[in-house]
């Protein structure tokens, strides 16, 4: 998992240096949904609340690679409590564009979660299937508690009733990129959240 940590840090540093903005990729973007300033403001607000809620508790931040990288990096630096972090790489698989709901662990946590208060940091929750699996998996491993911070929530796509304890923004059913989220590994380093033009992803 140390390799994952290196990947996370390198990705975040790259994003901060490049500082890609919507103006740089205007031909691919329909419109900006959430500005960089609003993202930073909301993440700071959530971090303040989490710092209060987890004071004197044994917190562990868990992020799923790669989408949550930017959110985790900014969020963790805004916390006023000690917050170790660990990472998982997951994939869901099925046929065509439909997932079966089965989850494959590509890279696992390096931390024993028993007795720890886990806060899962997610970039976006749409169907909720992967998140629901992860919450139950961590509980099954003996975590003391498991809660969720999702930067974005897309209720229109929800297939599983999964609880999100801290929500950054609720968004419409649109294809969004930026701040760690991608299309075909592109746009992750965009410093805001934007809606991609359908012509880019072929719909």
User: What digits encode the pLDDT tens for the residues 168-182?
Assistant: 999 999 999 999 999
Confidence band for 92, pLDDT divided at 50, 70 and 90: confident
Per the document, the length of the chain is 203
| Nearest to 168, CA basis, from 153, 156, 181 | 153
For residue 98, pLDDT over 60 is answered with: no
Q: CB of 123 within 8 A of CB of 167?
A: no
Q: What is the pLDDT of residue 96?
A: 37
Q: Please give the class, per CATH, of domain 2-201.
A: alpha beta
Distances in Å between the Cα of 51 and the Cα atoms of 78, 114, 124, 135, 143 are 9, 21, 21, 21, 19
Q: How far apart are CA 102 and CA 203, in angstroms?
A: 26
Cβ burial 127-149 (10 Å sphere, 16+ → b, else e): bbbbbbbbbebbeeeebeebbbb
Q: Cite the active site residues.
A: 126
Q: Which residues of 97-126 are buried (b: 16+ CB within 10 A; e: fewer)?
A: eebeeebeeeeebeeebeebbbbbbbbbbb
Q: What is the pTM of this model?
A: 0.86
Model confidence at 6: pLDDT above 90: no
In this prediction, residue 101 carries a pLDDT of 64
* Rounded Cα–Cα distance for residues 111 and 117 (Å): 12
When pLDDT is averaged across residues 110-116 and rounded to a whole number, the result is 97
Sort residue 179 into left (φ over 0), alpha (ψ -120 to 50) or beta: left
Q: What integer is the mean pLDDT of 182-191?
A: 94
Label residue 154 by pLDDT band (50, 70, 90): very high
């Amino acid at each position: 998992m140390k390799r994952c940590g290196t990947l996370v840090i390198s990705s975040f540093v790259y994003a901060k240096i490049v500082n890609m903005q919507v103006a740089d990729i205007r031909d691919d973007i329909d419109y900006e949904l959430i500005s960089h300033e609003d993202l930073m403001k909301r993440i700071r607000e959530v971090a303040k609340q989490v710092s209060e809620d987890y004071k004197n508790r044994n917190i562990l931040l868990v992020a799923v690679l790669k989408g949550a990288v930017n959110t985790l990096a900014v969020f963790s630096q805004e916390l006023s409590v000690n917050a170790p972090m660990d990472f998982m790489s997951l994939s869901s698989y099925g046929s065509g564009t439909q997932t079966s709901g089965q989850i494959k662990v590509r890279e696992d946590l390096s931390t024993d979660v028993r007795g720890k208060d886990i806060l899962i940091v997610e970039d976006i929750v749409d169907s909720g299937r992967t998140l629901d699996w992860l919450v139950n998996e961590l509980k099954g491993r003996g975590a003391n508690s498991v809660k969720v911070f999702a930067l974005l929530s897309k209720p229109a796509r929800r297939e599983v009733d999964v609880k999100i304890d801290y929500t950054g923004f609720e968004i419409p059913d649109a294809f969004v990129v930026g701040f760690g989220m991608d299309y075909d590994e592109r746009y992750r380093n965009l410093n805001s959240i934007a809606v991609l033009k359908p012509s880019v992803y072929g719909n």
